Amino acid sequence: MSLRHVAGAVVGATLLLGAAPAAGASSDPYGRLTIDRIGHLTRGAITLSGTYRCLRSSGPVFVSSSVSQGDPRVRHGVGGSLAVCDGTRHRWTNSAGSYGMYRRGRAHVEATVMELSATGLPLPHFHAVRRQDVTLVRG
């Protein structure tokens, strides 16, 4: 199974379960996450980015993101990327097809740094969660 499929499953499960803690909450005292204030729309795709930092993990860790624009009840996953928890700051970038759903202007983004437990059932552990408004621009 490819990283894209695993990350997509993680994002989908997170959105369906609604398991993310409150905005800005962190269950790991060393988890940090930022979202860049500008998101990019290119022909048929949306790209979101930022930085993260997490100290340690025992299972695979992902940075997932989602976006809504207009109706806040309609939210779509925007990719997922594998994270490295070594205590240093790293960049993350997630992209997905936008299928014409998004336009230039204000949008609301949620990003998470989430670990899947390495033992037993792979349950999510959230190192960091952030929600904020961004501006979507062309290019």
Domain limits for position 55: 3-138
Q: How many structural domains does the chain have?
A: 1
Give the DSSP H or E segment for 4: helix 3-17
User: 1: burial class by Cβ within 10 Å (0-12, 13-18, 19+)?
Assistant: exposed
CATH number at residue 73: 2.70.50
The pTM (predicted TM-score) of the whole model is 0.77
pLDDT tens by residue, 17-48: 444 444 444 444 557 999 999 999 998 899 99
> What is the pLDDT, as a whole number, of residue 98?
80
Q: Residue range 69-74: average pLDDT?
A: 86
Q: Return the pLDDT at 4.
A: 47
Does position 115 have pLDDT exceeding 80, yes or no? yes
User: Measuring CA to CA, which residue among 61, 65, 41 is closest to residue 53?
Assistant: 61
Cβ contacts of 125 within 8 Å, gap of 6 or more: 27, 28, 114, 115, 116, 117
